[in-house]
C-alpha cells in the first residue's frame, strides 16, 4: 500500500526532492521526501554526531538527567518530533 501511494505521489509531483543544500527543512514538510540513500546515511551520521557531541558535553559538565531531558526536548523541537 505504501509503495503504491509513494509511486502515485511521485507521478503527481507531490513529493519533495531533497536538495542537500541547507535549504531543506523537513520539519515543515507534509509530503513524501525523495532522498538519495547515500545522502540519507550522511544526514543520519551528522545527526548522530551532533547528539553524541551534546551528550558528551553534558557528561563533561557533570550534568546528567535534568540537562539530558532538556537536551532531548530541544532536539525533538529542532526536528519536529513528538514530545
At residue 81, the pLDDT reads 56
At residue 36, the pLDDT reads 92
pLDDT in tens, 6-53: 888 888 989 999 988 888 888 888 888 899 999 999 888 888 888 888
- How sure is the predictor about 63, in pLDDT bands with cuts at 50, 70 and 90? low
Q: Cα-atom radius of gyration of the chain, to the nearest Å?
A: 17
62: left (phi over 0), alpha (psi -120 to 50) or beta: left
In the predicted model, is pLDDT for residue 1 greater than 80? no
pLDDT in tens, 66-79: 777 787 788 888 77
Amino acid at each position: 500500500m505504501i509503495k503504491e501511494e509513494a509511486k502515485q505521489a511521485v507521478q503527481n509531483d507531490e513529493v519533495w526532492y531533497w536538495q542537500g543544500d541547507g535549504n531543506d527543512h523537513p520539519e515543515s514538510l507534509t509530503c513524501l521526501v525523495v532522498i538519495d540513500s547515500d545522502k540519507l546515511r550522511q544526514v543520519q551520521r551528522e545527526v548522530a554526531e551532533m547528539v553524541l557531541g551534546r551528550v558528551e558535553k553534558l557528561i563533561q559538565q557533570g550534568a546528567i538527567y535534568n540537562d539530558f531531558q532538556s537536551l532531548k526536548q530541544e532536539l525533538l523541537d529542532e526536528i519536529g518530533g513528538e514530545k
